[in-house]
Amino acid sequence: MSEEIPPLLPDGGAAADLNRRPAARPATGRPDVVVLDYGFGNVRSAVRALERVGADVELTADRDRAAEADGLVVPGVGAFAAVMEGLKAVRGDQVVERRIAGGRPVLGICVGMQVMFEAGVEHGVRAEGLGQWRGVVEMLDAPVVPHMGWATVEAPEGTTLFRGIEDERFYFVHSYAAQEFSQGHDEHADPRFQPPRVTWAQHGGRFVAAVEDGTLAATQFHPEKSGDAGATLLENWVTSL
């Protein structure tokens, strides 16, 4: 049985050892961001893009650093099931869950977004995801797959990620996506909680291009490959930390 990570709390308590930032890391005044290195992401370009928009960035698989950073980025390329295996190998699934439970920011990119859903189905094989959002990631309903290239998105009102870039194009490379999104709010939901803001794009049918859900945000496209628009999106996220 793998070792469990204690609940991650914003200001210490049971998880003070995970929240505590090592004294050896000098304060720079810039947000401290970890890009999770678990073998399934375009990590170097993500690191460079985040550094350019003002973050102090570390690429690491260390769970303590991933837990304690101001922001955690979960990149992902390849098959859904393989990405989940990679995450679990470094206990990234536990770190993501504890960060979200503790209200600490997480940004998923590409398959790093897909694994936030309940499951993914590829070649008839279902793999369980992190279950932060309802829904299943499936092959795009389009005449040409993969979807590769630039596309516009339909950003919602009140968006933070797309502030100032609502009408820009972003770079996609994917064959699978979530094509429905359940808000998870019904007549019994607490009205104090803001439902997720969902951004859509089109390739054949509509699919989820991004989600902003409290401190959990994710994009199906690659902001680090999306030129000035992608840089602005990352800057919007970094400045929100």
Indicate which residues carry an active-site annotation: 110, 222, 224
- CA 113, CA 142: separation in Å to the nearest integer? 20
81 by DSSP, 3-state: which? helix
What interhelical angle do 43-52 and 227-239 show, nearest 10?
70
Nearest to 209 by CA among 96, 136, 110: 110
- CA 234, CA 219: separation in Å to the nearest integer? 11
Q: Is 240 exposed, middle or buried (0-12, 13-18, 19+ CB in 10 A)?
A: middle
- CA 109, CA 202: separation in Å to the nearest integer? 18
